[in-house]
Amino acid sequence: MQSSRRRRVKIIATLGPASADRQTVSALFDAGADVFRINMSHASHDAMRERVAMIRSIEEEKGRPIGILVDLQGPKLRLGLFAEGGVDLHKGEGFVLDADTTPGDASRVQLPHPEILSSLAPGHRILIDDGKVLLRVVEAEPARATTVVEVPGRVSNKKGVSLPDTTIPTSALTPKDRADLAAALEENIDWIALSFVQRPEDVIEVKAIARGRALVMAKIEKPQAVARMDEIMEVSDAFMVARGDLGVEMPLERVPGIQKTLTRYARRLGKPVVVATQMLESMITSPVPTRAEVSDVATAVFEGADAIMLSAESAAGQYPREAVATMNKIAIAVESEGIYPSIIEAQRASPEQTGADAIAEAARDVAETLGLKVICAWTNSGSTGLRIARERPRSAILALTPNEEVARRLAVVWGLHPIVTDDARDERDMAERACRYAYIEGFAGAGERIIVVAGVPFGTSGLTNNLRIAVVGGQ
């Protein structure tokens, strides 16, 4: 498999009704998509399997590793039913949420989640319909919560409920999620996105089920996750700044700061971070984005995010290919700005005190000192590629791996161009083949020098201890 994209930040495109056929998905790849997301909130197991098979077929045709991210729905909290379909709540009025299955009225409605009712406490906020209505708990019993309406509005059957102040003492995995996870793991997908993470144990539970068959990306979209960010990021393989639900459960003005904090921290850990939600929202119905959306995408690229994601724009919008192409153009333009390298370098974290991190930092320093265009990293598990990407070098990074699944997982990582090839036989083969791929992929010309990083002995995961400069011969 070969790769020839020059853009560093990666693009994730969500598949859906607007991108359900092979021709459209292939066009999204050609427009710049590196990873495809399958949202299990809207996909059956059969639809998921069909999309995975389609992506793998396109991957074989294009000759380039393509990552697949399966996004679990997570617990969807909703109101019960109203006798008349809905009611208008007025500011200052009382309203009760309880376990009674009787259809609701202007004074009460069922909340069919006993784990929530037992966890609520006075002072807790309850947001309904993406925050359009706000209730404040004044009295709480195990099966009943009395609230006062602080932000009025209409509430109706099955409207979504958000709880920014309440930690729910249950797993982030619902029975549906468990079934979806098992089905996805059978299809050899690459990443699992876990929704509504509250605690590190949520991530640990999914990793125990996955057993390395897929990596786990924690979606940061709840205040509880922000409060325990360090612990969650320590056990996760990657992170998503899911700004949609995060902006519902936290003050909107805090979201940009959280985005920057998460991006910086993920980079310090050397783990991929994705910025998602409403990046080009207007392109659901318009062939061009707003100026503010362009600036929003550019900000994520300037921050050094590993990937930026399209949701409804590519899944259900009228212009899926144009949305991917627009995001691609914005990213290329930002990375071409003269100020881009200095901004990326200003965010650089000190290397960890390990031999592998020292080699990765040295590779970046040597490449920049000698003006070398490419660093070739032999990586069995992907860790060498991740360490070098963490340094955000100005050089391109070729990640040479004998493992197809590793190449696909690295498709989400900043600056990495994964190539599947047999493991190096010896140090001479290591250098010669790195030079050959650098030449074939167009990253270096004959007579130019490149840096080759590897672990010796070959085939040993997590061992990065060898750096050398090699000269590309005429091919």
- Rounded to whole angstroms, the Cα distance separating 442 from 462 reads 28
User: Would you say residue 128 has pLDDT above 50?
Assistant: yes
- DSSP secondary structure string for all residues of 270-297: T--EEEESSTTGGGGT-SS--HHHHHHH
Residue range 244-257: mean pLDDT, rounded: 92
User: Would you say residue 78 has pLDDT above 80?
Assistant: yes
User: Would you say residue 184 has pLDDT above 80?
Assistant: yes
- DSSP secondary structure string for all residues of 422-465: PPPSSHHHHHHHHHHHHHHTTSS-TT-EEEEEE-SSTT-TT---
Q: What does the pLDDT read at residue 4?
A: 59
User: Would you say residue 93 has pLDDT above 90?
Assistant: yes
pTM here? 0.93
User: Would you say residue 130 has pLDDT above 90?
Assistant: no
> Could you tell me what percent of the chain has a pLDDT over 90?
88
Residue range 294-305: mean pLDDT, rounded: 97
**Mean of the per-residue pLDDT values of the chain:** 94
State yes or no: cis peptide before 351, omega within 30 of 0.
no
Lowest mean pLDDT among 4-8, 74-78, 118-122: 4-8
Catalytic residue annotation? 37, 78, 219, 277
Q: What is the largest CA-CA distance in the chain?
A: 80
Contact call for residues 320 and 367 (beta carbons, < 8 A): no
User: Would you say residue 462 has pLDDT above 80?
Assistant: no
- Rounded to whole angstroms, the Cα distance separating 346 from 204 reads 33
User: Would you say residue 3 has pLDDT above 80?
Assistant: no
The residues, ordered by sequence, that sit 6+ positions from 212 with a Cβ below 8 Å of its Cβ are none
Answer yes or no: same fold for 10-74+172-338 and 86-162: no
Residue range 307-323: mean pLDDT, rounded: 97
User: Would you say residue 359 has pLDDT above 80?
Assistant: yes
**Structure tokens belonging to residue 148:** 């006062």
Q: What does the pLDDT read at residue 2?
A: 40
Q: What does the pLDDT read at residue 455?
A: 80
Q: What does the pLDDT read at residue 326?
A: 98
Domain residue limits, the chain: 10-74+172-338, 86-162, 355-471
Contact call for residues 5 and 324 (beta carbons, < 8 A): no
The pLDDT tens digits of the residues spanning 370-382 come to 999 999 999 999 9
The pLDDT tens digits of the residues spanning 189-221 come to 999 999 999 999 999 999 999 999 999 999 999
Tell the CATH superfamily of the 10-74+172-338 domain.
Phosphoenolpyruvate-binding domains (3.20.20.60)
User: Would you say residue 348 has pLDDT above 90?
Assistant: no
Contact call for residues 194 and 202 (beta carbons, < 8 A): yes
User: Would you say residue 87 has pLDDT above 90?
Assistant: yes
The residues, ordered by sequence, that sit 6+ positions from 154 with a Cβ below 8 Å of its Cβ are 86, 87, 88, 89, 133
The pLDDT tens digits of the residues spanning 25-63 come to 999 999 999 999 999 999 999 999 999 999 999 999 999
Tell the CATH superfamily of the 355-471 domain.
Pyruvate kinase, C-terminal domain (3.40.1380.20)
The pLDDT tens digits of the residues spanning 404-446 come to 999 999 999 999 999 999 988 888 999 999 999 999 999 999 9
Contact call for residues 297 and 328 (beta carbons, < 8 A): no
- DSSP secondary structure string for all residues of 312-324: HHHHTSS-HHHHH
> Could you tell me what percent of the chain has a pLDDT over 70?
98
Fold held by 86-162: M1 Pyruvate Kinase; Domain 3 (2.40.33)
Composition of the chain by helix, strand, coil, percent to 5: 40, 25, 40
DSSP state of 211: T
User: Would you say residue 475 has pLDDT above 70?
Assistant: no
Q: What does the pLDDT read at residue 460?
A: 65
Number of H helices, E strands in the chain: 17, 21
